[in-house]
Chains A and B, each alone.
Chain A
């Protein structure tokens, strides 16, 4: 097999949608550098800021990808992020708990929450949309029960240190007007997000669980007849997602350092949008977390455009995102139609 053929094969299948996303990102990034060079779009720090701002979303979108590949959906994640922030703020500020204890409790709560949802969905066979809609209301309600006022995290020094610590990268430095070399930096939140992304990628590609997730998304009935324990795998996907939404909430809280009822409202939709833009099919069976990562970055780039421009209304963000979503959904169905014709 020659190289071209090999490359063609690589691009075919689900990889094609991923390639489109990556190429799209590259074009948008280059365009940004050309248009907003004076605002410093080309600086490495601009890119790092995209990661910092969206660390929580990267984690939540990774979990969402797993759930969507099984053919399900989880719209409770936004409320879970909000609830996690509130729980952290309440436990650390009002109850004076240690940061590690508070984070541990939040993560454990995420697992329990995911387990309940997963059990309802896979063992009682209730529509995931309905179950997680209930979960969404429940988590948001619980957030308000803890406190209707904003709680800012001001006193827990460990937590604030972690939130604000700059990790400087050894490359991509720029020299400012006074001749000082400035290295780009990230926060620990980005490290957590990227590690999570890598772990989920590995789990999906190389573990029995990960491969089962794909099989179930392709055909639940077939997967069952081939001897997979469908219910267990599906439930595990929701447990994992519950955990990741709590972890995403923790990382989100590192950015906001506060808890507030309205926090992360609509976050679940951003996660779903990023996942879809990243080439994951809502019908299940096809998708990658790498795609979702680029989906998040594309959303981040649009935000950066608007910030760089300075005069555009921030609502353009939503408009462009909606157009992109349409584009990708059309692309997916064209792709599916082509595939059917070939088959």
Chain B
């Protein structure tokens, strides 16, 4: 460990059953620097942090902290705090049922010599801590009464208030508005001047270039490299995160201005200035019948959020949405289903498959939900539909009555896809339908998408794998930092253009 280093992690290994989450990762944090930890979903950022702070046990590796003799292994967040590492985790990790002040000083309340909590002093300390992050609120109120953004600021205030050497901020800005982000950056810079080292995890490229000194990029649980911010242009960073070399720098150009022309298709969905605070900035989107439209962007760029607005899973703050020529007023997923939309959500692994039910039952469930609980579909009809879709999707199963849990992951995926196809939607949203399945099945699903579109179904395809988008979509929307930054069409859809659009998105 060098004199200038605050924290070093060497050869970090972490394995979960069946998954290598981290393999041989090195990480160095210098004194008084703000260090961005970047990577796509599943890259291992959060795991690295949780290993460091003792939430997960470390399999192998060596962690050293400045001022502490020998290797440091934290067995719990409590221990990590004692070793000078303070963390704000991705989701607000505070207790909503107790007061703001208590949340700030939990586990280290000021006590009288008899061991009683000094409430007044605790409230005063909390007020001071919040003032440091520019917040003036009633600290005696229950935390849950405040908005998520304020809760996030409280979490930050707590982490800062714990006297620490290393401050870890795991996506602290995802629920903050611009003003709050600015304030947070001020706080971070002032801490940096006091000699605190900060690990900053974020999806927002803009923020990295605004506040960070160094970047470490992870991909698939492996270290890609450590770079100085000044020496790594945006495009290179995007390329390193996605794992493709971006060789031709000359081609960088913003695609933001390009619009769709010569659209001859009948419009099925039209969104104007649709927006929801904290999830996606205003966007326009027109989708033609039978079109396959792709949505891409880095994780957290607002892909799923956009889709959720279109499906009415979330209520927009402003803007207009019309579907099949009719303005959509009631924002309710059930109505969307009835209107002929279907949505395959991203986190279906937990929510989608009902393992103990048969393939038939899993296939039929969405259609049954649409017809109503009391109008049971006749068994003959169920069998007919099930057999048909097992064939269409070539689901490999012993029979329609086999429990879904006995199928392989890829086939389970097809069953969920089939579940929505059975409802015969006019507009189908697929959020990451190919994640975590083998190449063969991927290709089959891609083929199916193209074929369905040819038959007149409109499909929105969301994926972070640009290559598969290239093969499937007619038109590609690129999102960055919750904003639609570009649209690419036909021959313009290339790796380079997509990366350029992401990198140039907010310049």
Q: Is B303 engaged at the interface, CB distance under 8 Å to the other chain? A: no
CB pair A342–B97 under 8 Å, yes or no, is no
Contacts of A82 in B (CB 8 A): none
Q: Which of A215-229 contact B (CB under 8 A)?
A: 215, 217-219, 221-229
Contacts of A225 in B (CB 8 A): 55, 77, 87, 89, 93
A217 to B106, CA, bound (A): 13
Contacts of A315 in B (CB 8 A): none
Contacts of B97 in A (CB 8 A): 14, 214, 217-219, 285-286
Q: Is A207 engaged at the interface, CB distance under 8 Å to the other chain? A: yes
Q: Is B142 engaged at the interface, CB distance under 8 Å to the other chain? A: yes
CB pair A207–B115 under 8 Å, yes or no, is yes
Closest beta carbon of chain B to A44's beta carbon, Å: 34
Which of A13, A207, A219 is within 8 Å of B142, CB to CB?
Answer: A13
CB pair B117–A208 under 8 Å, yes or no, is yes
Q: Which of B11-45 contact A (CB under 8 A)?
A: none
Q: Is B78 engaged at the interface, CB distance under 8 Å to the other chain? A: yes
Contacts of A206 in B (CB 8 A): 116-117
Q: Chain A residue with minimal CB distance to B92?
A: A222
Q: Which of B118-145 contact A (CB under 8 A)?
A: 140-142, 144-145
Question: If A206-B116, A225-B87 touch, does A218 touch B95 (CB 8 Å cutoff)?
Answer: yes
CB pair A207–B117 under 8 Å, yes or no, is yes
Question: If A207-B117, A226-B93 touch, does A218 touch B111 (CB 8 Å cutoff)?
Answer: no
Which of A221, A226, A342 is within 8 Å of B145, CB to CB?
Answer: A342
Q: Chain A residue with minimal CB distance to B140?
A: A9
Q: Is B94 engaged at the interface, CB distance under 8 Å to the other chain? A: yes
Which of A207, A208, A218, A224 is within 8 Å of B76, CB to CB?
Answer: A224
Q: Is B98 engaged at the interface, CB distance under 8 Å to the other chain? A: yes
CB pair B55–A227 under 8 Å, yes or no, is no
Contacts of A288 in B (CB 8 A): none
Which of A9, A202, A226, A286 is within 8 Å of B107, CB to CB?
Answer: A226
Q: Is A165 engaged at the interface, CB distance under 8 Å to the other chain? A: no
A205 to B102, CA, bound (A): 12
Which of B55, B98, B116 is within 8 Å of A215, CB to CB?
Answer: B98
A9 to B76, CA, bound (A): 37
With an 8 Å Cβ cutoff, the count of chain B residues facing the other chain is 33
Which of B92, B106, B142 is within 8 Å of A228, CB to CB?
Answer: B106
**Chain B 74-90 per-residue mask, 1 if CB under 8 angstroms from chain A, else 0:** 00111011000001010
Which of B78, B98, B141 is within 8 Å of A229, CB to CB?
Answer: B78
CB pair B147–A343 under 8 Å, yes or no, is yes
| A206, A215, A226: residue with the most chain B Cβ atoms closer than 10 Å | A226
Q: Is B158 engaged at the interface, CB distance under 8 Å to the other chain? A: yes
Q: Is A38 engaged at the interface, CB distance under 8 Å to the other chain? A: no
Question: If A215-B106, A339-B144 touch, does A226 touch B94 (CB 8 Å cutoff)?
Answer: yes
Q: Is B325 engaged at the interface, CB distance under 8 Å to the other chain? A: no
CB pair B78–A207 under 8 Å, yes or no, is no
Closest beta carbon of chain A to B228's beta carbon, Å: 31
Contacts of B98 in A (CB 8 A): 211, 214-215, 218, 285
CB pair B93–A222 under 8 Å, yes or no, is yes
CB pair A343–B117 under 8 Å, yes or no, is no
Closest beta carbon of chain B to A209's beta carbon, Å: 9
Q: Is A212 engaged at the interface, CB distance under 8 Å to the other chain? A: yes
Contacts of B95 in A (CB 8 A): 214-215, 218-219, 222-223, 226, 285
Which of B107, B115, B116 is within 8 Å of A227, CB to CB?
Answer: B107
Question: If A221-B93, A343-B147 touch, does A212 touch B77 (CB 8 Å cutoff)?
Answer: no
Closest beta carbon of chain B to A128's beta carbon, Å: 19
A207 to B55, CA, bound (A): 26
Q: Chain B residue with minimal CB distance to A283?
A: B97
Contacts of B117 in A (CB 8 A): 205-208, 211
Question: If A207-B116, A208-B111, A227-B78 touch, does A219 touch B158 (CB 8 Å cutoff)?
Answer: no
Contacts of B92 in A (CB 8 A): 222
Contacts of A226 in B (CB 8 A): 77, 93-95, 103, 106-107, 158
Which of B77, B96, B108, B146 is within 8 Å of A219, CB to CB?
Answer: B96
Contacts of A339 in B (CB 8 A): 144-145
**Chain A 268-294 per-residue mask, 1 if CB under 8 angstroms from chain B, else 0:** 000000000000000001100000000
Q: Chain A residue with minimal CB distance to B95?
A: A218
A339 to B116, CA, bound (A): 30
A205 to B98, CA, bound (A): 12
Closest beta carbon of chain B to A291's beta carbon, Å: 15
Closest beta carbon of chain A to B310's beta carbon, Å: 25
Contacts of A285 in B (CB 8 A): 95-98
A214 to B89, CA, bound (A): 21
Closest beta carbon of chain A to B413's beta carbon, Å: 29
A9 to B138, CA, bound (A): 11
**Chain A 32-74 per-residue mask, 1 if CB under 8 angstroms from chain B, else 0:** 0000000000000000000000000000000000000000000
A239 to B118, CA, bound (A): 26
Q: Chain A residue with minimal CB distance to B114?
A: A206
Q: Chain B residue with minimal CB distance to A226?
A: B106
Contacts of B115 in A (CB 8 A): 207-208
CB pair B144–A208 under 8 Å, yes or no, is no
Question: If A13-B142, A222-B94, A343-B147 touch, does A228 touch B107 (CB 8 Å cutoff)?
Answer: yes
Q: Chain A residue with minimal CB distance to B79?
A: A227
Contacts of B111 in A (CB 8 A): 208
Q: Is B109 engaged at the interface, CB distance under 8 Å to the other chain? A: yes
A218 to B108, CA, bound (A): 18
A212 to B78, CA, bound (A): 14
Q: Chain B residue with minimal CB distance to A210?
A: B117
A212 to B106, CA, bound (A): 8
Contacts of A286 in B (CB 8 A): 97
Contacts of A219 in B (CB 8 A): 93-97
CB pair A211–B106 under 8 Å, yes or no, is yes
Contacts of B78 in A (CB 8 A): 227-229
Closest beta carbon of chain B to A65's beta carbon, Å: 15
**Chain A 221-249 per-residue mask, 1 if CB under 8 angstroms from chain B, else 0:** 11111111100000000000000000000
Closest beta carbon of chain B to A50's beta carbon, Å: 31
Contacts of A9 in B (CB 8 A): 140-141
Which of A208, A217, A342 is within 8 Å of B109, CB to CB?
Answer: A208
Closest beta carbon of chain B to A200's beta carbon, Å: 14
CB pair A224–B147 under 8 Å, yes or no, is no
Contacts of A214 in B (CB 8 A): 95, 97-98, 102
Contacts of A202 in B (CB 8 A): 116
User: What are 22 pairs between A and B in contact, CB < 8 Å?
Assistant: A208-B109, A208-B111, A208-B115, A211-B98, A211-B102, A214-B98, A215-B98, A219-B96, A222-B94, A223-B95, A224-B76, A224-B77, A225-B93, A226-B93, A226-B103, A226-B158, A227-B78, A227-B80, A227-B106, A228-B78, A343-B144, A343-B146
With A215-B98, A219-B96, A226-B93 already in contact, 15 other A-B pairs whose C-beta atoms are closer than 8 Å = A13-B141, A211-B109, A219-B93, A222-B92, A222-B95, A224-B77, A226-B106, A226-B158, A227-B78, A227-B80, A227-B108, A228-B78, A228-B106, A285-B95, A339-B144
Task: Return the 6 tightest CB-CB contacts between A and B, nearest first.
Answer: A218-B95, A218-B97, A285-B97, A227-B78, A206-B116, A222-B93
